[in-house]
Amino acid sequence: MGWLDWSVVGAYVALIVGVGMRAGRGAKSADAHLRADRDLPAWAVVFSVLATEVSAATYIGVPESAFSTNWNYLQFAIGALLGKIIVGTVLVRLYWRLNLPTAYGFLATRIGPRTQRATAMAFVVGRLIGSGVRTFIAAVAFAVVAQVDLFAAIVGICCIATIYTMLGGLKAVVWTDVAQGSIFFIGATTAVVFAVLKLDEAGVGFGSAVSEALAAGKLQFINLGAGENMLASHKPLLVAIIGGAFLTLATHGTCQENVQHLLNVRTEKGAVRSLIVSGLFTFPIVGMFLSVGTVLWVYHQHLPAEGYSIVGKDEVRRVFPNFIMHVMPSGLRGLVFAGLFAAAVASLGATINAVVATWTKDLFPARTNTLRSVRMLMAGCGVVLLGVALFFVWWAEQSSDDLVNIALSAMTVLYGGILGTFLCALLLPRRRDGFVVLALCVGIVAGAMLFFHKQIFGLPEPVIAWPWFIPISSLLTFGVTACAPRAPRA
C-alpha cells in the first residue's frame, strides 16, 4: 500500500483510539467501565450489535462464499431474524426484570451458582474460540493487502482492539462500533461501485453483469434442498433457518458479548427494539457483502487477475483482499482496507469487555475489582485471543471449508451446551444444580465431537453440517437435564 492508503488507515486507527480515550474519561469504577453506566442509546446499540456480528468473517468470508457459490448464505438471515424476535420478546425482558449484570445471573436464580459458574466458563472459552477465528480471518486479508507477515497482522489487530477497550470499556466498544459500522459498510459499497465501473469500461454494463450472474445461478437465494442431504449440507432453506435461529438464540440470548449491549441500554423497550431492528438491517448488510463476491466473479470472467491468482482454495479465500491490493487505486484502497480493519477489531473489543465482565461478575464475584485490575484482565484477554488466532492458522490448513463456515462452525463447540442449559432454566421445573452442570458438560462434549467428527472418524467429508451442531448439542443437554431429579423445595 502507498502512503495515501496508510494515511487513511492511520486516521482510522487514531479515530478509534481517540474515541476509546474519550469514552473512558468518565469511568470511575470497574462496574462503570464494564457497563457504560447503563446509559447507552438504543440507536447506537443497533450499530454495535451489527458491527459485532459482521466482523472480518463477513467482510472476507461472505464475498468468498458468493464468489465460489451463490447467495444461499442470505437464508441464514431469515433464521437470525426469527431468533432475535424470540430473544427480544422473551429473554431480554426477563433479564431486565431481574436487573442482571450478565446473562448468567439468570441461571443462578433459576438453578444454582454451580450452573452459573460452569456456563459462564463455557462462554468464556467458546467466545475466545469464535473471536480467535475471526482474528485469523482478518489477519489473512491484512497480510495480503499490507504485505506483512501473518503473525504480525494477528498481533496488530489484537493490540489495537485491546488498547481501545482497555481505555474506554463498553462505552468505547459501542461508540467505536458506530464509527466502524459506517466505515466497513462504506468500504464494501466502494468496492462494488469501483468493480462495476471497471466492468463498464471493459464493455460490460451493469445490466449485462446482472444477467450473466443470473444465468450462472450466482444470485440464487433460496435452496429448497432438492437432491441435497439435509443432514450433511448447510445450503437447504430449512437447514439455514433452523441453524440461523438456534445460532442467534445462543449468540444473542446466552452470549454476554451481545447481551451486554442489551442490558445497558437506557430502557427495556429500547433494548428489545434495538435487537429486532438489527435483525432487519442484517438483510441489506449481508446483501452488500454478497454483492461484493458476485461482482468480483463477473469481473474475473472478463478481466484477468493481474498480480494474483484465483485458481486454488487459498487464492479464492483471498480474492477480495487481493482485489483491494492489486486493482483498486491508492486512497480508495486505504478506505476499503480501513473497512476491513474496522470489521476485524469491532468484534474483538466486544469480546474482551464481555469476557472480563463475566470473569468478574460470575466466576470470581467475591473479589473487589478496581478499574486498574479490570484493565489488566482486558490485556490478558487480548493475549489469549492472540494465541487462539494462531491455532486457527493451523486449522485452516487442514480444512476445505470456506472462511465463513469455519468461523460459524467454530462458534458451535460450546454454544449448544450453553443454550441447552438456558432452555432448561426457562422451560423445566428446577433441577439439582450438579446434574445440570453434568448435562452442560454432555452438551459441550457433543459439540466438540460434532465439530471434529471428520478428523475423529477419518471421514473424507463431514456427514453432519455445522447448522445442526447447536440444535443437536442443545437438545441433548436439555434431554439429560429433563431426566435429572428435581431440586428440593427451599
In the chain, the largest separation of any two C-alpha atoms, in whole Å, equals 77
Look at residue 470 and tell me whether its pLDDT is greater than 80: yes
Cβ-based neighbours of 76, under 8 Å, separated by 6 or more: 240, 241, 243, 244, 247, 467
* Confidence at 396, pLDDT banded by 50, 70, 90: low
Look at residue 356 and tell me whether its pLDDT is greater than 90: yes
Look at residue 402 and tell me whether its pLDDT is greater than 60: no
Q: Which helix (H) or strand (E) holds 90?
A: none
* Confidence at 57, pLDDT banded by 50, 70, 90: low
DSSP 36: G
Average pLDDT over residues 112-126: 92
Cell numbers 503473525 correspond to: 151
- pLDDT of 298: 92
Range in 4-18, 69-83, 136-150, 251-265 the model is least confident about:
136-150
What percentage of the chain exceeds 70 in pLDDT?
93
Pairwise CA distance, residues 164 & 19, whole Å: 8
Pairwise CA distance, residues 126 & 271, whole Å: 24
Look at residue 20 and tell me whether its pLDDT is greater than 60: yes
Pairwise CA distance, residues 270 & 43, whole Å: 8
Look at residue 321 and tell me whether its pLDDT is greater than 60: yes
Domains detected in the chain: 3-391 (1.20.1730.10)
**Averaged pLDDT score across all residues of the chain:** 85
* Confidence at 119, pLDDT banded by 50, 70, 90: very high
Cell numbers 468484534 correspond to: 347
Average pLDDT over residues 17-29: 76
CB atoms within 10 A of CB 352: 30
Average pLDDT over residues 230-238: 88
- pLDDT of 55: 65
Three cell numbers written together for 80:
437470525
Range in 66-70, 237-241, 393-397, 480-484 the model is least confident about:
393-397
The residue that leads in pLDDT, 3 or 282, is 282
Phi, psi of 265 (to 5 degrees): -75, 160
- pLDDT of 404: 52
Task: Tell me how far CA of residue 432 lies from CA of 104, 239, 429, in angstroms.
Answer: 17, 34, 10
Question: pTM for the complete prediction?
Answer: 0.86
User: Do residues 242 and 83 touch, judged by C-beta distance below 8 A?
Assistant: no
Average pLDDT over residues 429-446: 93
Amino acid at 29: S
